[in-house]
Structures are given as structure tokens and as C-alpha cells.
Amino acid sequence: YMELGGNDAAILLADANLDDDAVKRLRFGVLRAAGQVCSAIKRIYVHESRYEEVVGKLTKEFSRIRVGNGIQPDVEMGPLNNKSQYDYVNSLIKRAADAGAHVITGGIQIDPESWEQGYFIAPTIITGVEQTSEIVRAEQFGPVIPILPFSDVDEVVRLANDSEFGLRASVWTEDEALAVKLADRLEAGAVFHNNHTVFQDLHLDFPGLKESGLSRETRHCGLEYFADSYGLAN
């Protein structure tokens, strides 16, 4: 089994519920472990009719995140793991800004005096980018998220699938039947509905497609991977 990272897309359709709980789930899907999760949301596609609303609500939500040393009380997001990744994520943000993107930073520094002593990056939203932008195509693995508008379902399926990765995706809509149909069209090992997290039941399969992995793991799939075929028939 090999798991090789991801560039997970979250798709917010025109009828998506964007109440406070939904926005918190969206934020958690992006910023869990400061974005250092293979199956975190790495890019968000929003129907053009809701684009400004989503950017505004997520900006407000990011502004509330308390960033600092994880052993301090009330800290909600810690630093990046190492200097190499810290430099890489900062370079992605800088190159996006240099190319004309709009960079929105938020968060609350718990201890501003010690900010430079750790690999802290404020929660960051990037707008004004294209599908071909580096910040959209790369697995940033940090607390930064590009948000792009789309006009119709066929377009967003094409954009979401336009990646070498295929680990996870999510569809945010009140139409469950449509979410299932879209899930069948998305090139991802698993697709969440109105959430983007990890499976609560860790016995479930953890597949990846394309450059996001080979084979399967956990429970029966994991056992079968190490079994001879004749043994499975008995």
C-alpha cells in the first residue's frame, strides 16, 4: 500500500447550506492540524452566485482562529512541522501575491513576541487565482486555501478532476441525490457530503486514486492484500 498525498477539492453548489455549523466544518476541513493532513481541503470551488458570501464567511471564521504554541491554553492551531515546509508554504503565498492574487490573512496570535520563534503561518485565503495557478495545483500542506468560482456542474467536475491527485473530495449541497451523482463523477478515493474530515469508523477503507495511492488499507481490504488468492476462496 502507498499513500502519496492529495489535493482535495471541496465543491460548494448554489444551494449549499452555509450556516455557522457548516462554515465551521468547512474551516476544520481546511485548517485541521494547520492544514498538514493529506486529506485536508486544499482548494475550494464555489458556485459564482455564492462566491462572495463564502469568501466573506470563511474570512470571518479564519479571523477567529487562535494560533500559537499547542501547549498554551485555548490555542486552536499550531505551527508547521519544520522549516522546509514553512519556507515552501510561504513561498507559495508570495508567488501567488506576486502574480496578482488577493491574499487574506487572519487569526489571532496568542503570543506575538514568540511568533518568530516557531514556524507559524496565519490562516490564509487566496482569491483571484486561476486553475493553472501553482497555489491551486500544488499540495500546499499548510493553512492556506485558494477559493475559485465556477458556473455549472460540468465545469466544476472538470476542474476538480484536473489534478494528478485523487485522494478525497467533498460536495456541499442540500440535494443528496445530486451529491451521490457528482461523487460518481469525481476522481477521488472517497467523497464526503456536507463535510470534509476523516472517517469516524477507522475500519472503513482508505483508498486513493491516481498519484494519491495504490491499493487499499484497513480491515478486509488490508487482509486480502496480504493473502494468496486461493486462500480467499476457502
* Catalytic residue selected from 3, 187, 211, 224: 3
Nearest by Cα to 13 from 150, 125, 136: 150
Query: Does 221 qualify as catalytic in the annotation?
Result: no
Which residues, in sequence order, are bridge partners of residue 142?
Answer: none
CB atoms near residue 30 (< 10 Å): 26
Annotated catalytic residue, options 38, 61, 76, 139: 38
Residue whose C-alpha cell reads 512541522 in the numeric block: 81
Q: Which residue do the cell numbers 491551486 mark?
A: 136
Instruction: State the Cα–Cα distance between residues 104 and 144, nearest whole angstrom.
Output: 9
Length of the chain (residues):
234
CA distance readout (Å), 118 to 13, 89, 211: 38, 14, 31
**Nearest by Cα to 93 from 48, 146, 150:** 146
Paired residues of 214 in beta bridges: 2
Contact 55, 125 (CB under 8 A): yes
The catalytic residue positions are 3, 38
